[in-house]
Amino acid sequence: MDAEGNWTFTAPALQDGRHELSIVVVDQVGNKSLPSDPFIVDVDTVAPENPSIGMIKDSEGNPLEDSSTTKDLRPTLEGTGDDGDIVVIIDNGKPIGSVIVEEGKWTFTPENNLQPGEHELEIVVRDPAGNESPASDKVTIGFEGDTQIPIDPEPVDGLPDPDVPVSGMIEHIFKDNNDAGVRTPIENGGAMNDPSIIVAGKGVPGELVNIYIVGLENSYSSFITTIGADGKWELTTPDLADNVYQLRGVFSSDGEVTGKTDIYEVEVDTIPPPPPEIRLCPLIT
């Protein structure tokens, strides 16, 4: 104990299990205090066992087997586990959400539509101590859906510019800093070092929004999602090559274009600078 009454102690490695830690104080003449109230520590260094996805089903409850296809872009995943564990859902190698096991069960439905195409879905499990399981076996599902709203005139190059008013907006472009979902907003005209862009905005609930992206060789890609009941929408693009990109949202209802957003520009730059050099200059006296 130091002169200010503070003390520290590093215990040797403890075995897995429950430990009750308490202290007694011995003064300079040998008098001992009563033991303190115990401080309880549960040591757990064992990772959860290999998990598995119990079931994937569409909005009507029909099971989706490995290598099957569906038109439901927001499937539900279900499974079992230990209460308090966190199940992280991974889509094509990237986390898209997590859920806590309650009463031995968990269920997860994406907040936003998955993009049409083939998706490999898997999970990992983290226990309350932070131990992480290996990834589960992958389940491959093909998602079918319209990837493009009809635009008249159809753009040959550059962004589409339908003759409709600006209605709604691209509110933010984000990059994820880590698996915990901490996000950094990227301003219009800014740059980011993450090849995958998270695009979010506002519009009319229930309408579809296509995000058109112009980049390399002035060609464009299109990604679609549905605006939620709160008027908000969000989608994540696949990895993009380093380049400056322009984005525009086009809104539609019942197949008819209803509005568009202003253009948003962002640069993807994932190449780190070269290693710096230290050069010694002679001292001139």
Q: Is residue 132 part of a domain?
A: yes
d(CA 192, CA 13): 42
Structure letter (DSSP) for residue 139: E
Running DSSP on this structure, what letter comes out for residue 104?
T
Strands 86-91, 117-126: pairing is antiparallel
In a domain? residue 45: no
Q: Which residues contact 237 (CB under 8 A, 6 or more apart)?
A: 196, 197, 199, 211, 213, 221, 223
Distance CA 100, CA 223 (A): 30
| 223 within some domain | yes
For the chain, what percent of residues have pLDDT higher than 90?
40
Query: Are 112 and 189 members of one domain?
Result: no
Report the distance separating Cα 66 and Cα 76, nearest Å.
14
**CA separation, residue 176 to residues 185, 194, 278 (Å):** 9, 8, 33
Instruction: Tell which of 143, 178, 213 closes a domain.
Output: 143
Q: What is the CATH number of the domain that holds 138?
A: 2.60.40.10
Nearest in space to 237 (alpha carbons), one of 167, 166, 173: 173
For residue 15, is pLDDT > 60? yes
Do 131 and 197 sit in the same domain of this protein? no
For residues 123 and 89, is the Cβ–Cβ distance under 8 A?
A: yes
pLDDT single digits (tens) 52-68: 999 999 988 999 999 99
Mean pLDDT taken over the chain: 85
The boundaries of the domain holding residue 238 are 169-268
Cα three-residue angle 196-219-177, rounded to 5 degrees:
10
Q: Is the full-model pTM beyond 0.85?
A: no
Strand intervals (E) in 109-231: 117-126, 139-143, 169-176, 183-186, 190-192, 198-202, 208-214, 220-226
| Per-residue model confidence as pLDDT tens digits over 227-270 | 888 888 888 887 888 989 888 888 888 778 888 888 889 999 99
Number of folded domains in the chain?
A: 2
Distance of alpha carbon 163 from alpha carbon 150, whole angstroms: 13
Is residue 218 included in any domain, yes or no? yes
User: Is residue 137 in a domain?
Assistant: yes
Give pLDDT tens digits for 118-152. 899 999 999 999 999 999 999 999 987 655 555 55
Question: Which is more confidently placed, 220 or 53?
Answer: 53
Residue 285 lies in a domain: no
Split at pLDDT 50, 70, 90, the class of 273 is confident
Q: What is the pLDDT of residue 82?
A: 95
**Residues 193 and 247 occupy one common structural domain:** yes
98 vs 216, more confident: 98
pLDDT for residue 238: 79
Query: Are 132 and 212 in a shared domain?
Result: no
According to the model, what pLDDT value does residue 219 have? 58
CB 135 within 8 A of CB 144: no
